[in-house]
């Protein structure tokens, strides 16, 4: 079985408060975008010393296989379904890592959905989301995978109407890995009381200066080249531009889907999305 875990962008990202459990309460809108990893699972009864094998291609994945969210998802489900078949899995990695695009979270969530379908586990969406939350705060979003207002740690999801399919998105990843833990450690609690969901309901022309990512201030101070990307996207005519997640990827939303957007750099990974399709440059 093969599936295609997709990336996401954040439309606004407010850090509302610090929680007693050490996490932060957030206010953001998750928006899925058509840019994909490729994940395959194959039942493998010949495995003897392990229940699962993991191989990867594409972008280099750091860390041991056991720490990959796909493997963790399998082991998590296995606890409740001990007769789950042994499998071999392969992940072809396209989505940049440490870039605020949710690629690892998507891989783990899609693994849960694949196992549910392949092995007829009969898990409903809420149960799959509860498993996904054990993998990461934004993993439940990729179970429903629809534009959603996210609060709490990011796991409290309310589907919203938001459609950017008639826009062009230009996504620029400078290849800078921003540590999520470090970014949260230096964050300032948001003073903006307007919900990101309310802002997103307004015309996109009103988002600039109102729909903010609270991580930008800290990340831009440490990596001014990321701020330069945002400034350049506005110079190119973006209606709205923002860093996604805790960085380092920046996206610009453009009105005219019939014009190719050329970002003036050969050093960055650039993805253009229009008409529901993505093109790497």
Mean residue pLDDT across the chain: 91
Q: Name the catalytic one among 8, 93, 129, 167.
A: 8
193-216 confidence digits (pLDDT tens):
799 999 999 999 999 989 999 999
Q: For the whole prediction, is pTM greater than 0.85?
A: yes
Per-residue burial over 9-27, b = 16 or more CB atoms within 10 Å of its CB, e = otherwise: bbbbbbbbeeeeeeebbbb
Q: What average pLDDT score do residues 2-9 get?
A: 97
The pLDDT of residue 113 is 98
Strand locations in the chain (E): 2-3, 6-18, 24-36, 38-43, 52-58, 87-93, 148-151, 156-159, 168-173, 240-243, 250-254, 269-274, 277-280
Res 185 pLDDT > 90: no
Q: Name the catalytic one among 27, 37, 138, 214.
A: 138
**pLDDT band for position 98 (50/70/90)?**
confident
**Active-site residue flag, 8:** yes
Side-chain half-sphere CA neighbours of 90 within 13 A? 9
Q: Give the whole-angstrom CA distance, residue 26 versus residue 244.
A: 14
Res 281 pLDDT > 80: no
Res 164 pLDDT > 70: yes
What are the φ/ψ torsions at residue 200 (nearest 5 degrees)? -65, -25
CB count, 10 Å around CB of 145?
Answer: 16
Rg (CA), the chain: 19
**pLDDT band for position 5 (50/70/90)?**
very high
Res 259 pLDDT > 90: no
**Active-site residue flag, 258:** no
Res 4 pLDDT > 80: yes
The pLDDT of residue 265 is 80
The pLDDT of residue 108 is 98
Domains of the chain, start order: 2-159 (3.30.230.10), 168-280 (3.30.70.890)
227-247 confidence digits (pLDDT tens):
999 999 999 999 999 999 988
The pLDDT of residue 49 is 64
Res 258 pLDDT > 70: no
**pLDDT band for position 279 (50/70/90)?**
confident
**pLDDT band for position 257 (50/70/90)?**
low
Res 167 pLDDT > 70: yes
In this structure, are residues 150 and 117 in contact, taking their beta carbons and an 8 Å threshold?
A: no
| Residue (of 185, 67, 36) closest to 136 by Cα position | 67
- Beta-bridged to residue 159, according to DSSP, are 148
**pLDDT band for position 162 (50/70/90)?**
very high
Cβ-Cβ contacts under 8 Å for 114 (sequence gap 6 or more): 1, 3, 39, 41
The pLDDT of residue 74 is 95
**pLDDT band for position 189 (50/70/90)?**
confident
27-51 confidence digits (pLDDT tens):
999 999 999 999 999 988 777 667 8
């Amino acid at each position: 079985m093969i599936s295609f875990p997709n990336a996401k962008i954040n439309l606004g990202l407010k850090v509302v408060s610090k929680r007693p459990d050490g996490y932060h309460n957030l206010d953001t809108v998750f928006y899925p975008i058509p840019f994909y990893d490729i994940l395959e699972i194959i039942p493998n009864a010949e495995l003897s010393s392990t229940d699962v094998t993991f191989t990867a291609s594409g972008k280099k994945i750091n860390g041991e296989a056991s720490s990959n969210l796909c493997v963790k998802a399998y082991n998590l489900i296995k606890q409740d379904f001990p007769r789950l078949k042994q499998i071999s899995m392969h992940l072809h990695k396209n989505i940049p890592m440490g870039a605020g695009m949710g690629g690892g979270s998507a891989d783990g969530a899609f693994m849960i959905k694949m196992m549910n379908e392949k092995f007829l586990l009969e898990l409903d969406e809420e149960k799959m989301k509860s498993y996904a939350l054990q993998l990461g705060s934004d993993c439940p979003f990729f179970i429903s995978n629809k534009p959603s207002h996210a609060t709490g740690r990011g796991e409290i999801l309310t589907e919203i109407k938001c459609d950017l399919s008639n826009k062009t998105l230009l996504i620029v990843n400078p290849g800078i890995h921003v540590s999520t833990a470090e970014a949260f450690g230096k964050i300032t609690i948001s003073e903006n009381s307007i919900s990101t969901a309310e802002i997103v309901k307004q015309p996109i022309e009103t988002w600039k200066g109102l729909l903010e990512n609270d991580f930008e201030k800290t990340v831009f101070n440490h990596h001014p080249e990321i701020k330069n990307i945002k400034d350049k996207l506005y110079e190119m005519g973006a209606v709205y531009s923002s860093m996604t997640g805790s960085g380092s990827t920046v996206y610009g939303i453009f009105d005219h889907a019939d014009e190719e957007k050329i970002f003036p750099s050969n050093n960055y990974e650039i993805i253009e999305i229009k008409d529901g399709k993505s093109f790497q440059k």
